[in-house]
């Protein structure tokens, strides 16, 4: 930020220095995905990348008016799909099983020549389930539909190769792997049929007008290179930390439930239902103890709505509201895991004794989902 103030689109000397920095960052991000540098389009983050993929494919769809996705996607996929549905597109949302997995064969069967776009998360943001997409990619290829994967939760947590996955588009985000906020990218295969949604300049192969976030892109490239070089060792380390925490919590909290698969899950994502407490009460009490966790739900007008992911997976509204997501990551140490295990069990007992939670009627879950 101090050394390079040039615009990468400018022809003068400082602009060209900035351009070289930008293209080096593009190479590094491409390397994390097994892609060619020219296929990387820098964006402001995962949400913009998902919007570009979805609205861009819809604009280029011609007569095709059908889109296939799932009921457990991130809101930056579901909200654009709802907008397109209101404009006359048919949106098919596939249901997951109780572990948060999409049946790949059923998904493939839903793809025909009327489908413009298939858009799915490679890893679910809330429960960490890894989707098996090979049959889906093949069906999309046969139908000549655009296939988009949201890999914001997958990059840096599992090996990724865009060619072997068979996708046309892929979303990634820097802050998910320890990089700066406000920068992301969309892998866009050269043959992918999408139109830009931000107009007014030739930047990013004409796919995204505007002066790029050069410091963000450079930071993204730096962390992408670090993550790629340490991927195997770091994922093994985080898996060990997560397993230690999970075993300790199961031993200390009767009735604790893991949401999502035991296997086929990225190691950093633990979604747990804590019996007898509201998730938001437990979250706030843990925050006071120095343990930061999250709920896979949105707060609106002071009320926390049950997670749409957990509801779609068949959980009751009460179970969904009693669930928290715990995510060890690259800064997490063995000592912090031991501290968190003790604090979570201790705080859960205190909160459960202070405010026992009456079971909500399952009908409330359906009402909330509507």
- Taking the CA atoms of residue 157, residue 161, residue 164 and residue 167 in that order, the dihedral angle to the nearest 10 degrees is 90
Q: ∠188-191-194 over CA atoms, to 5°?
A: 60
Q: How far apart are CA 68 and CA 322, in angstroms?
A: 30
Distance of CA 56 to the CA centre of its chain: 19
Known catalytic residue at 5: no
List of residues 6+ apart from 233 with CB closer than 8 A: none
Whether 121 and 149 have beta carbons less than 8 Å apart is answered as yes
Whether 183 and 163 have beta carbons less than 8 Å apart is answered as no
What would you report as the CA-atom Rg of the chain, rounded to the nearest whole angstrom? 21
Q: What does residue 94 show for φ and ψ, rounded to 5 degrees?
A: -75, 145
Whether 253 and 345 have beta carbons less than 8 Å apart is answered as yes
Sign of CA dihedral 274, 280, 281, 282: positive
354-359: list long-range contacts, CB under 8 Å, 24+ apart: 355/277, 355/278, 355/281, 356/276, 357/276, 357/277, 357/278, 357/318, 357/322, 359/316, 359/318
Task: Name the active-site residue from 5, 167, 188, 299.
Answer: 299
Strand duo 299-300 + 303-304: pairing: antiparallel
Residues forming the active site: 299
């Amino acid at each position: 930020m101090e050394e390079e103030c040039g615009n990468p689109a400018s022809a003068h000397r400082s602009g060209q220095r900035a351009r070289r920095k930008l293209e080096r960052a593009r190479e590094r991000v491409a390397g994390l995905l097994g892609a060619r540098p020219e296929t990387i389009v820098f964006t402001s983050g995962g949400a913009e990348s998902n919007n570009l993929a979805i609205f861009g494919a819809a604009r280029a769809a011609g007569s095709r008016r059908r889109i296939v996705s799932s009921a457990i996607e991130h809101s930056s996929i579901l909200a654009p799909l709802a907008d397109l549905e209101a404009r006359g597109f048919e949106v098919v949302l596939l249901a997951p099983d109780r572990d948060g997995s999409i049946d790949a064969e059923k998904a493939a069967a839903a793809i025909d020549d009327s489908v413009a776009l298939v858009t799915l998360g490679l890893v679910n943001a809330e429960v960490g389930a890894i989707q098996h997409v090979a049959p889906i990619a093949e069906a999309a290829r046969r139908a000549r539909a655009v296939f988009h994967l949201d890999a914001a939760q997958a990059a840096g947590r599992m090996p990724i190769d865009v060619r072997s996955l068979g996708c046309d588009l892929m979303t990634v985000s820097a802050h998910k792997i320890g990089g700066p906020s406000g920068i992301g990218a969309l892998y866009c295969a050269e043959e992918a049929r999408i139109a830009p949604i931000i107009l007014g300049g030739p930047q990013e192969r004409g796919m995204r007008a505007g002066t790029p976030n050069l410091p963000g892109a450079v930071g993204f490239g730096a962390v992408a290179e670090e993550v790629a070089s340490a991927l195997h060792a770091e994922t093994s380390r985080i898996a060990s930390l997560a397993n230690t925490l999970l075993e300790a919590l199961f031993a200390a909290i009767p009735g604790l439930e893991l949401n999502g698969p035991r296997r086929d899950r990225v190691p950093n994502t633990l979604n747990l239902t804590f019996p007898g407490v509201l998730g938001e009460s437990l979250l706030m009490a843990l925050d006071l103890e120095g343990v930061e966790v999250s709920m896979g739900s949105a707060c609106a007008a002071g009320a926390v709505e049950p997670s749409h992911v957990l509801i779609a997976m068949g959980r009751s509204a009460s179970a969904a509201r009693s669930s928290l997501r715990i995510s060890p990551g690259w800064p997490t140490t063995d000592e912090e895991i031991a501290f968190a295990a003790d604090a979570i069990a201790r705080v859960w007992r205190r909160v459960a004794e202070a405010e026992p939670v009456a079971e909500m009627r399952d009908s409330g879950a359906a009402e909330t989902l509507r």
